[in-house]
Amino acid sequence: MLSERLENLHPYVPGEQPKDRIYIKLNANENPFPPSKNVAKAIKKSVSCHREKLRLYPDPDSVELRTAIADMLNSTGGVLCNSQSAKKELGFKITPQMIFCGNGSDEVLSFVFYTFFGSRCPLVLPEFTYSFYPVYCGFYNIQMKKIPLKNDWGLDIDKMLSESEKNNSPIIFANPNAPTGIALKRAEVESFLKKIPSDRILVVDEAYADFGEESCLSLLKDYKNLVIVRTFSKSFSLAGMRLGFSVANPELINSIFTVKNSFNHFPVDFLAQTAGKAACENYSYYEENAKKIVNERNLLTEFLRSKNWFVIESKTNFIFAKKNGMGGTSIYEAVKKAGILIRHFDTPGIDDFVRITIGTKNQMDRLKKVLAEI
């Protein structure tokens, strides 16, 4: 009755979404701040003044949204918490033709996997990274070659490059990485790109780049084999709207459109396009929120280290930490009893760690009190 393809599927397990009580949710890397009021106003206006658009199919190419995204990236450099420096470092203009939009970065990643990764050679990726990558490999029958992280939990780009050269394999990694939170410098990524052939794809997932110091967007000017994936779920507070995008040279973007149009001609709905456009136009609101999150992240890191926790240096909106003598599950359970949800992993090698999303100051103060007691 069922197809043999199901045998290779191992679905992604998202952060816990409780229904039994109200928790402080610090387990899914959601933004603790709501979208800007401009987003709510834009959606309300669209529904009340342009109801007829809800009966029509949305713009299949998301032209206005792609234009707004390009303008936002050119204005911020792709790093909200460090936009002044990032804007200066961008060095060229990103155009709407360089952008593809989808229902969250997960759908964008799905199209990217289908477009650029195949069954002829294994995909090279880090051993510990975003756990949806192996899910898509199973879905599209793509072999994987996982590369262990270095002793400092950073990406081993030399080994990734060496493994890629064996089979002319494409490469994907998140930067900053998840769940570790470590970011490669842009210069390190460029050094990587200089060593791989121009016809070999490198995908850099920048879901958390707005909380770091640098983006790889400026590298798109000189490297036509680079694909960058971004999301509105983290820094733009739209996880509930499902909106993501990729940035690459127009030829690669057109290839992704070919895949999209062979699967779903209208993936991004009218309200999502409206919300995304309004968010981009009000990017200064999100810049301030990103800075607040980074400040709380640094304070939490300092606090935990003062309590003898091991905390990996993070460039994201979460931290990855462990406490000697306690497993990740036991920490998670103790914190949950206090009404706070954090994330733990059953994967060998990282099962002692917990991943803690950064919340508001009040949420972090309560968490610190709980962690100090266990």
pTM: 0.94
Closest CA to 29 of 130, 170, 98: 130
- Where b means 16+ CB within 10 Å and e means fewer, 273-307 reads bbbbbbbbbbbebbbebbebbbebbeebbebbeee
Mean per-residue pLDDT, 11-35: 83
Whole-number pLDDT of residue 3: 66
Mean pLDDT, range 29-49, rounded to an integer: 94
- Confidence check: pLDDT of 17 > 90: no
Percent above pLDDT 70 for the chain = 95
70 has a pLDDT exceeding 70: yes
Per-residue model confidence (pLDDT) at position 206? 98
pLDDT, tens digit, for every residue of 86-128?
A: 999 999 999 999 999 999 999 999 999 999 999 889 999 999 9
pLDDT at 282: 97
Q: Which is more confidently placed, 13 or 145?
A: 145
CATH of domain 37-283: 3.40.640.10
The residue to which tokens 């980074």 are assigned: 294
Q: Kindly give the pairing relationship between strand 354-357 and strand 202-205.
A: unpaired
Tokens matching residue 118:
């195949």
pLDDT attached to residue 22: 87
pLDDT tier, 13 (very low <50, low <70, confident <90, very high otherwise): low
pLDDT computed for residue 265 by the predictor: 85
pLDDT band at 266 (very low <50, low <70, confident <90, very high): confident
Statement: residue 8 has pLDDT above 80: no
Q: How far apart are CA 244 and CA 237, in angstroms?
A: 12
* Domain spans in the chain, listed from the N-terminal domain onward: 4-34+285-373, 37-283
Strand arrangement of the beta sheet that strand 99-102 belongs to = 99-102, 244-247, 226-231, 202-205, 171-174, 123-126, 144-147
**pLDDT tens digits, residue range 198-221?**
999 999 999 999 999 999 999 999
Q: Band the pLDDT of 235: cuts 50, 70, 90.
A: very high
Q: pLDDT confidence of 4, banded at 50, 70, 90?
A: low
Pairing relation of β-strands 24-25 and 99-102?
unpaired
3-class SS at 228? strand
Interatomic CA distance for residues 231 and 107, integer angstroms = 10
pLDDT of 2 > 90? The answer is no
347 or 277, higher pLDDT? 277
Residues 6 or more apart in contact with residue 310 via CB below 8 angstroms: 321, 322, 323, 324
Name the average pLDDT for the chain: 94
Using pLDDT thresholds of 50, 70 and 90, give the confidence band for residue 264.
confident
Residue with tokens 């959606």: 43
Residue 49 banded pLDDT, cuts 50, 70, 90: confident
pLDDT at 267: 86
**Nearest-angstrom CA–CA distance, 344 and 91:** 40
CATH 2.60.120.260 fits 4-34+285-373, yes or no: no
Instruction: Provide DSSP, 45-97.
Output: HHHHH-GGGGGSPP-TT-HHHHHHHHHHHHHHTT-GGGHHHHHHHH-S---GG
For the residues 262-271, what does the mean pLDDT come to? 90
Round the CA-based radius of gyration of the chain to a whole number and report it: 20
